[in-house]
Structure 1
Amino acid sequence: MTEKLSQGVKDAQARFDAGMGADGEASPYPMLDRLRRQAPVHPGWPEMGILDNPAEGQQIFTAYSFDAVKAVFTDNITFSTRCYEAIVRPLQGPTILEMQEPEHGLYRRLHEFAFARSSMRRWEAELVGPLVQRTVERIRGDKRADLVETVFMPIPVRVIAALLGLPESDVPEFHRLAIDLLGFHSDMDSALRASAELKDYFVGILADRRRSPRDDMVSVLAAADIDGVQMSDEQIYGFMRNLLPAGAETTSRSTASLALGLLGHPDQLEAVIADRALLPQAIEEGIRWETPLLNFMRETTHDVEFYGHAIPAGSTVAVNLGSANHDESRWDRPEQFDIFRDRKPHIGFGHGAHVCLGMHLARLESMLIFNTLFDRLPGLRLDPDAPAPYVAGTYFRSPQHLPVVWD
């Protein structure tokens, strides 16, 4: 029997996609390409993100080129993440996202206990690998499926839930609340309710792990200690509320977009199936080609001259990762999906002090998912009788459906 997403999760995802500009297949890239070719940095903000209603008098600038975006991420003193405090803290509690140095560096090291390489090796063998195999095995006999609904959305959320030690029976509600939380841009009231419900749930989970530690992330973080500094309960709740929407949402989208890229280029798909050593570079090309989360923002801590603009202290500087990853000065034919292009690092996971903590987990999941799909679904191809899939979204991007068939 094919495992389906619950109706509550489907409804929450539909509301989220609508609020994030995912209606229709209009792409932001023609506009981003035009702006980037005009200048690396522009005053203002295109109508495609979380700053549609800035505070009166707020000065906003947006970085579009690869070098400009990387420069913002690199200098986390001038370009601070403290702008997230007003947005994130009411929803998730204290997180390292809005922390400044030196506090950020210390607490990031505490968070890294949850992503230790020794743990990753164990997760691959004992958790992620078996979960991926079970999920794909459920659909193998059907000979057709929507891979977004049956594979790419369910697996990352179940991986995160398992890493946190949550019961399988709680996953659908957990998933729904996480999507509502992430959809604060379109419905803040629902996001705040979801945040409160998740915290109430996590209070019991953390209390249980403090009494009886297990082999999961919550227990690891509860015990993590650097020179006598430990994470508070509120910080652990913040980590837990941030991990699911941040980790699962982006991984589900990046795997779906990579699948579309490969299925839309049968020669590249055939090459990867024949030589799995090509899969890591295919994963990186998929993230570059269709970056799952396009926009982040920073706040200037002092007046700065940046790419010809005098930017006052307290200004918002947005960075568009999608535009940076399509910079024609760095990649030839950047709008095309090509796993054989010259390999250059993309910036899809961010860069610098705040680079994505879960990027190694995301890559691990992608490797296991695609190897299992290629092994268990021979002749995998787009469903010729279904509407052609496409990537949608101006803030989060991915195909909303991916109908396929196999032999």
Structure 2
Amino acid sequence: MTEPATVEELEQSIRDAQNRFNAGMGADGDASPYPMLAKLRAQAPVHGGWPEMGMVGNSGDGAPTFTAYTFDTVKAIFTDNITFSTRCYEDVVRPLQGPTILEMQEPEHAIYRKLHEFAFARSSMKRWDAELVGPLVDKTIGKIKDTKQADLVDSVFMPIPVRVIAALLGLPDSDVLHFHRLAIDLLGFRGDMDCALAASAKLKEYFVGILAEKRKAPKDDMVSILAEAEVNGVKMTDEQIYGFMRNLLPAGAETTSRSTANLAYALLSHPDQLEAVRADRSLLPQAIEEGIRWETPLLNFMREVTCDTEIGGVQIPAGATMMLNLGSANHDETRWEEPEQFNIFRERKPHIGFAHGAHVCLGMHLARLETTKIFNALFDELPALRLDPDGPAPYITGMMFRSPTRLDVVWD
């Protein structure tokens, strides 16, 4: 997996690919979906179509599309994974990533969920903290410490989660930039499907060699663990492991990169709350959760309706596509007072930014660990961290994935 390119050229190609991906995901300046989402929630908890994206009526295959906007309806749909199936991802995700747990149904899903949990064992978290995440965060922030200014998105929030995922998969450090570039091309399928399919093929070709190597000489990385994991006599096939590897970047690195950037934007834009967390690190966990609630990095999920049902007072026919707007659910005014405001001191209630139910995010503990390590290091190593008064004004962008494209800061 080597191409004739310098590190600088590869890093720039990643930035260019990320910009194309953002454009394909509806990023358009500082436009926000939240005013429209508030209006839709006020009208009804469930609507036909996907009004905030300009979509109404039927999906491409003729099946009607509905969208859930309130916390209660979104949570109820996540909870009932029989009526609201993830089978729809088979047509969307499998051509790009291969077979993944995302599309699996019960009872198969429960078995493969347990197999995946071997890779995300809570017992491994302490080791990842000490041996991987902590040193990587320190090294990354150490590179910019003496510069006194930086774009945190480009220098910290984008590279760290990708390098964590690459290390957990056991990829050589020299391959990380190539891996990152191909992964972004894979994610950008809405803008360029041919490019995404080509990237998927290259990633699989690369992962075939990685898996073969791990089978010959297992180590303590996720690929070696999954190659050996077994539940009730069931083991993951090679194709399923390739699918896991191709799915891990969008499921882990992309969302963690965006959620950390969103939290940094929120704190830097609210200096009083920034100072409170800097002075009392016990506030950091609730700041992390409030950041994910306030600006959920991935706004939408989808489900396939398996039988006639009713949700939010709306009759939904079998075969319909149900969209779940997590961003709207996390701004539901019946659950949170002044939900549009970022407030780490608000009454603590669970958000739904990591989904819910049988398909709740497997990597949420890793995401929280990475975010905690990053912010503690930022506070410790970059004194008086603040927005650069001479830099471009930051803003969060996107209609599906949301985060700031850059975050210019200075420190003493």
Once the two structures are superposed, residues 313-348 of structure 1 have per-residue CA deviations (whole angstroms, 9 ceiling, x without a partner) of 110000000000000000011001100000000000
- Aligned partners of 1:63 and 1:319 also within 8 Å: yes
- Superposition deviation, residue 8 in structure 1: 1.2
Distance 1:394 1:241 in 2: 23
- Superposition deviation, residue 245 in structure 1: 2.1
Once the two structures are superposed, residues 335-394 of structure 1 have per-residue CA deviations (whole angstroms, 9 ceiling, x without a partner) of 011000000000000000000010000000000000000000000000000111000000
Give the match for residue 260 of structure 1. Answer: 265
Deviates more, 1:352-361 or 1:181-190: 181-190
- Superposition deviation, residue 57 in structure 1: 2.4
Give the match for residue 336 of structure 1. Answer: 341
Q: Give the letter aligned to residue 86 of structure 2.
A: T
Once the two structures are superposed, residues 200-240 of structure 1 have per-residue CA deviations (whole angstroms, 9 ceiling, x without a partner) of 00000000000100110000000101121100000000000
- Aligned partners of 1:62 and 1:320 also within 8 Å: yes
Asked if residue 304 in structure 1 is aligned to residue 309 in structure 2, the reply is yes
Give the match for residue 95 of structure 1. Answer: 100
Once the two structures are superposed, residues 47-84 of structure 1 have per-residue CA deviations (whole angstroms, 9 ceiling, x without a partner) of 53999982252101100000000000000000000011
Q: Give the letter aligned to residue 202 of structure 2.
A: E
Asked if residue 130 in structure 1 is aligned to residue 135 in structure 2, the reply is yes
Q: Give the letter aligned to residue 337 of structure 2.
A: D
Give the match for residue 360 of structure 2. Answer: 355
Give the match for residue 12 of structure 2. Answer: 7
Query: Closer, same or farther in 2 for the Cα pair 1:4/1:268, shift >3 Å?
Result: farther
TM-score (norm 1): 0.98
Match of 1:160 among 158, 161, 165: 165
Q: Give the letter aligned to residue 214 of structure 1.
A: K
Distance 2:55 2:203 in 1: 23
Q: Give the letter aligned to residue 261 of structure 2.
A: A
Give the match for residue 388 of structure 1. Answer: 393
Match of 1:227 among 229, 232, 236: 232
Give the match for residue 397 of structure 1. Answer: 402
Distance 1:97 1:306 in 2: 23
Match of 1:76 among 76, 81, 90: 81
Match of 2:296 among 282, 291, 296: 291
Match of 2:222 among 204, 214, 217: 217
Give the number of equivalent residue pairs: 406
2:53 counterpart SS class: coil
1:184 counterpart SS class: helix
Give the match for residue 25 of structure 2. Answer: 20
Distance 1:145 1:46 in 2: 38
Asked if residue 238 in structure 1 is aligned to residue 243 in structure 2, the reply is yes
Query: Closer, same or farther in 2 for the Cα pair 1:396/1:49, shift >3 Å?
Result: farther
Deviates more, 1:304-313 or 1:144-153: 304-313
Distance 1:203 1:248 in 2: 21
Identity of aligned residues (%): 75
- Aligned partners of 1:380 and 1:405 also within 8 Å: yes
2:190 counterpart SS class: coil
What aligned pairs does 1:21-60 form with structure 2 within 5 A after superposition?
21-46=26-51, 48=53, 54-60=59-65
Q: Give the letter aligned to residue 213 of structure 1.
A: P
Once the two structures are superposed, residues 132-165 of structure 1 have per-residue CA deviations (whole angstroms, 9 ceiling, x without a partner) of 0000000000000000000000000000000011
1:70 counterpart SS class: helix
1:366 counterpart SS class: helix
Once the two structures are superposed, residues 70-123 of structure 1 have per-residue CA deviations (whole angstroms, 9 ceiling, x without a partner) of 000000000000011001111111101000000000000000000001111101
Query: Closer, same or farther in 2 for the Cα pair 1:222/1:358, shift >3 Å?
Result: same
- Aligned partners of 2:304 and 2:320 also within 8 Å: yes
- Superposition deviation, residue 168 in structure 1: 1.1
Structure 1 gap segments, 5+ residues each: none
